[in-house]
Amino acid sequence: MSKHEVRSSRIFGSASEIRPRPALGEIGFVGLGRMGAAMAANLAADGRQVVAYVRRPDQIGKLEALGLRPTTDIGNLFHCEVVISMLPDDDAVHDIVFGRADTSPDGLAAALTPGAIHLSMSTISTTTASLLASTHARNGQSYVAAPVFGNPDAAKARQLFIVAAGARADIERCRPILASLGQRTFEIGDAPADANLFKLLGNMMSATALEMLGEVVAVVRKRGLDPQPFIDIMTSTMFGGRAHKIYGDKIARQTYAPGFVLPLVLKDVRLALAEAEQDRPRTYRCRGGGARPVTANQGRVRPDLSAARTSQVRI
């Protein structure tokens, strides 16, 4: 087990330290799409009272059937000890936290009670994550970033991988919730934005793996060959990762039921590129003809291809 993995039995600090009280009251939930609905339903199945905020009244019946307590008034979440957001992008999270003049002028930042936790499980930029963390802190609230790796099927089966960052005591309070939602939680520090950086870079790796798989399978098909044996060989030798196995098989069989949907993939790739641009002097960019250094220094060394990831060697 990784040193970063959160165990349910782990206690921080000295033996005399009092472990933070877990959050046991009602849980607010915002973002009831395919992922969010599956996650909220798992919490309800574990006996938690989940207040689910939706803007569309026609969604209420479906959410009630999942054991949730749906509401179209976000004010019904403001008393919750923990509010989870599972929203598609920065703008949607911003609206929930800071409010919208046309629908919900009060957001979580202004209205959550002191000591409440905003548990953000959305895939958002590090800039937005830092803004949310500082805003909640000024209002006496807590903020934990816990984005997830996994698709709606994994969410339903409680097989998500969660990357959590925030104050240790706050993560401890959220531990029972995280245990209900995923198979493993990795705690990476006290800066929430770092969890979102890990998530964005991980999604970039997934996106590039899928793009590569699509291109090589296209070549195999153009030669009149069945791509399945090729995928089987690659995923049992050099490319045995989960993304290669799961999506390689889907591409070979041409089964394209939405999981990692394209608009969200593009959003995450753009955010990952924006993160890379913040560190531009030390970053290799893949554009057009492939990877090239931002600052070229020809002729000095002839390193291995793996050196393209580091600033210490310039090709």
What pLDDT, on the 0 to 100 scale, is given for residue 106?
84
Using N-to-C axis directions, what is the helix angle for 168-181 and 34-45, rounded to 10°? 90
Torsion sign over Cα 170, 176, 181, 183: positive
Rg (CA), the chain: 22
| Catalytic residue annotation | 199
What pLDDT, on the 0 to 100 scale, is given for residue 186?
98
Buried b (16+ CB within 10 A) or exposed e, 77-114: bbebbbbbbbbbbbebbbbbbbbeeeebeebbbebbee
Spatial separation of the C-alpha atoms in residues 200 and 273, rounded to whole Å = 9
What are the helix (H) ranges across the chain? 34-45, 60-65, 90-98, 108-111, 126-138, 152-156, 168-181, 192-222, 227-235, 242-253, 262-278
For the chain, give the number of residues: 315
For residue 252, what are the contacts with CB-CB under 8 A and spacing of at least 6?
Answer: 217, 227, 228, 230, 231
Torsion sign over Cα 260, 274, 200, 281: positive
Q: How do residues 237-287 score in pLDDT, each as one tens digit? A: 999 998 899 889 999 999 887 666 778 888 998 999 999 988 765 544 454
Buried b (16+ CB within 10 A) or exposed e, 280-309: eeeebeeeeeeeebeeeeeeeeeeeeeebe
What pLDDT, on the 0 to 100 scale, is given for residue 23?
60
What pLDDT, on the 0 to 100 scale, is given for residue 265?
85
Reduced to 3 states (helix: H, G, I; strand: E, B; else coil), residue 199 is: helix
**What are the residue ranges in the chain where pLDDT is below 70?**
1-24, 103-104, 258-260, 280-315
What pLDDT, on the 0 to 100 scale, is given for residue 247?
87
What pLDDT, on the 0 to 100 scale, is given for residue 256?
81
What pLDDT, on the 0 to 100 scale, is given for residue 308?
52
What pLDDT, on the 0 to 100 scale, is given for residue 315?
37
Kind plus residue range of the DSSP H or E element containing 69? strand 69-71
